């Protein structure tokens, strides 16, 4: 690996570290109570280092939301490229959503469970980018459901209604698993698979 490549990788790793620390702090202390200095202290860097990557907290939040959605969308794209049957693709995509939330709980809670009013100060361009990334993932869900309907493996129904209700169910499972940490869940793997059986079964 050349010097330029190594520096680019290190820069990307630090950027991700900053975003991860920000997501954690936003949840722990509330968005309004977190400063760029606090984020820098969490990762043990000087505040000036943070400003080399993000001009302010508002821009940081925009990137956090956009990159969270983009990573989820990449995972769903990878599943689409496996060439599985429509129903297998749908189930794997729903499972990938849950796994993503569990792997990045701070990101998931902040991006998917935070009231929209929090983002009112983000500039219009960033809001559009966040919305676009989020809708890209949702459109993948719609496309998968449409393909399943066309293949006859789930019943024909209003596509938008079906997609929104399916997302709400999978979001509820994910949010519950990553926020209700003191709840006495049964074996989580068993619980997730049982929940997916119920969701997919309700569509058939």
Q: Tell me, what's the pLDDT at 49?
A: 87
C-alpha 167/C-alpha 161 separation (Å) is: 10
Q: Which two tokens stand for residue 160?
A: 């938008």
Q: What is the DSSP string of 76-122?
A: HHHHHTT---HHHHHHHHHHHHHHHHHHSHHHHHHHHHS-GGGGTTS
Domain end among 14, 32, 54: 54
Question: What pLDDT is stored for residue 120 in this prediction?
Answer: 62
Residue 119: which CATH number? 1.10.357.10
Residue 72 sits in the same domain as residue 144: yes
Q: Is 140 found in the same domain as 50? A: no
Angstrom distance (rounded) from CA 114 to CA 123: 17
How far is it, in rounded angstroms, from Cα 53 to Cα 30? Answer: 22
CA distance linking residue 89 with residue 180, whole number of Å: 28
The residues of the chain scoring below 50 in pLDDT are none
pTM (predicted TM-score): 0.83
Residues 73 and 49 in one domain: no
* Domains contained in the chain, number: 2
Q: Are 17 and 72 within one domain? A: no
The CATH code of the domain that includes 5 is 1.10.10.60
Residue at a domain's end among 54, 76, 97: 54
Structural domain boundaries enclosing 48: 1-54
Q: Are residues 185 and 90 in the same domain?
A: yes
């Amino acid at each position: 690996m050349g010097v330029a490549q190594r520096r680019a990788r290190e820069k990307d790793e630090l950027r991700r570290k900053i975003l991860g620390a920000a997501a954690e702090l936003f949840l722990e202390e509330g968005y309004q109570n977190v400063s760029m200095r606090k984020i820098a202290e969490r990762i043990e860097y000087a505040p000036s280092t943070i400003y080399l990557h993000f001009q302010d907290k508002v821009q940081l939040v925009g990137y956090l939301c956009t990159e969270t959605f983009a990573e989820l969308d990449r995972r769903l794209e990878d599943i689409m490229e496996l060439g599985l049957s429509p129903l297998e693709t749908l189930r794997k995509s729903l499972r990938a959503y849950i796994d993503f939330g569990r792997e990045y709980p701070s990101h998931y809670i902040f991006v998917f469970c935070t009231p929209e009013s929090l983002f009112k100060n983000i500039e219009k361009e960033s809001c559009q980018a966040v919305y676009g990334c989020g809708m890209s993932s949702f459109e993948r869900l719609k496309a998968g459901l449409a393909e399943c309907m066309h293949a006859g493996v789930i019943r024909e129904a209003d596509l938008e209604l079906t997609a929104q209700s399916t997302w709400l169910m999978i979001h509820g499972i994910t949010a519950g698993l990553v926020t209700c940490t003191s709840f006495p869940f049964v074996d989580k793997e068993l619980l997730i698979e049982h929940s997916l059986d119920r969701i997919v079964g309700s569509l058939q």
